[in-house]
């Protein structure tokens, strides 16, 4: 059983803790270090590493502090530069690496900077977790996944209604569409998953103004039959 905890999610900061019972990892670190510490009960020593999706501060804010404290950090090559942390590890997409009991494969998703999603296979539990955020599109399908953590930033209906009403500027609405995943894109990815093995779906990075958490949860539930959580 993999344990997932959402410490923060959304455009003001993203950070999740995942553990297979042997090894705990952080997925993104886009909040101040003291909030990460609170979220992990001040047990940074028990975190084996942090996987960073990309350089935007809502995903990488605490990277310099975590690096200073000696945590193993992996991300796309641009993260080390943006955070001025040469000690951050990187590697090309689709090259597998191992952190203790986890086998990890980064893959590229479509965003306005290089952004990695991650496939995490636990040798401890034999389960697979997939993490995807800040992705206008994902050029892969995933069949056998036990835990799916997936951005569902906005609803196209809500976004276009707000643009028509003038509640959101057209340029911003266009930028969101080009850089983030809407609920329909998320449901499309969920449809490709094998419902016989899928246990949990976590919908991430919901926009405060352009999403509907209850409706998103129901849609994901209906599509997958799995437990659905809104981060
Ligand atoms: Zn983001
Ligand atoms: Zn971003």
Q: How far is the CA of 111 from the centre of ligand 2 (A)?
A: 7
- State the Cα–Cα distance between residues 111 and 73, nearest whole angstrom: 21
Q: Which residues pair with 27 in a beta bridge?
A: 16, 51
pLDDT in tens, 131-183: 999 999 999 999 899 999 999 999 999 999 999 999 999 999 999 999 999 99
Domain range spanning residue 220? 3-230
The share of the chain scoring above pLDDT 90, in percent, equals: 97
Task: Note the ligand closest to the C-alpha atom of 56.
Answer: 2
- The string of pLDDT tens digits covering residues 24-47 is 999 999 999 999 999 999 999 999
Instruction: Provide the pLDDT for residue 143.
Output: 83
What's the CA gap between 171 and 184, in Å, rounded?
A: 21
Q: What CA–CA distance (Å, rounded) separates 32 from 93? A: 27
At 79 the pLDDT is 95
Q: What pLDDT is attached to residue 154?
A: 98
Distance 227 CA to ligand 2 centre (A): 27
Tokens of 46: 């028990």
**What is the mean pLDDT of the segment spanning 6-22?**
97
Segments of the chain assigned E as strands: 3-8, 15-19, 24-27, 47-51, 73-74, 97-99, 102-109, 115-122, 128-132, 147-151, 200-204, 227-230
- Per residue in 103-131, pLDDT tens? 999 999 999 999 999 999 999 999 999 99
Instruction: For residue range 196-231, list pLDDT tens digits in order.
Output: 999 999 999 999 999 999 999 999 999 999 999 999
The mean per-residue pLDDT over the stretch 176-198 comes to 97
Contact assessment for residue 50 and residue 65, using Cβ atoms and an 8 Å cutoff: no
pLDDT score for 144: 96
CA of 22 to the centre of ligand 2 (A): 30
pLDDT at 218: 98
CATH, residue 178: 3.60.15.10
Distance 134 CA to ligand 1 centre (A): 5
> Looking at residue 66, what is its pLDDT?
97
Could you report the per-residue pLDDT of 67-97, keeping only the tens digit for each?
A: 999 999 999 999 999 988 888 999 999 999 9
As for how many domains the chain has, the answer is: 1
- Cα–Cα distance list, 20 to 143, 158, 159 (Å): 20, 37, 37
Centre of ligand 2 from the C-alpha of residue 10, in Å: 10
Q: Compute the distance from residue 37 Cα to the ligand 1 centre, in Å.
A: 20
Indicate whether 10 pLDDT > 90.
Answer: yes
What spacing in Å lies between the alpha carbon of 10 and ligand 1's midpoint?
7
């Amino acid at each position: 059983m993999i344990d997932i905890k959402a410490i923060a999610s959304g455009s003001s900061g993203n950070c999740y803790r995942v553990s297979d019972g042997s090894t705990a990892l952080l997925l993104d670190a886009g909040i101040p270090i003291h909030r990460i510490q609170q979220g992990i009960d001040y047990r940074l020593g028990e975190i084996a590493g942090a996987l960073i999706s990309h350089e935007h501060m809502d995903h990488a804010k605490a990277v310099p502090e975590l690096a200073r404290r000696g945590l193993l950090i992996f991300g796309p090559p641009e993260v080390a530069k943006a955070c001025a942390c040469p000690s951050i590890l990187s590697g090309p997409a689709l090259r597998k690496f191992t952190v203790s009991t986890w086998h990890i494969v980064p893959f590229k998703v479509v965003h306005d900077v290089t952004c990695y999603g991650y496939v995490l296979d636990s040798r401890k539990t034999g389960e697979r977790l997939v993490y995807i955020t800040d992705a206008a599109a994902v050029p892969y399908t995933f069949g056998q996944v036990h835990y799916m953590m997936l951005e569902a930033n906005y609803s196209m209906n809500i976004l276009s209604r707000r643009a028509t009403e003038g509640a959101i500027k057209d340029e911003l609405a266009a930028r969101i569409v080009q850089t983030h995943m809407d609920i329909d894109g998320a449901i499309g990815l969920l449809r490709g998953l094998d419902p016989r093995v899928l246990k949990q779906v976590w919908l991430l990075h919901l926009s405060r103004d352009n999403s509907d958490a209850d409706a998103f949860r129901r849609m994901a539930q209906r599509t997958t039959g799995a437990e659905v959580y809104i981060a």
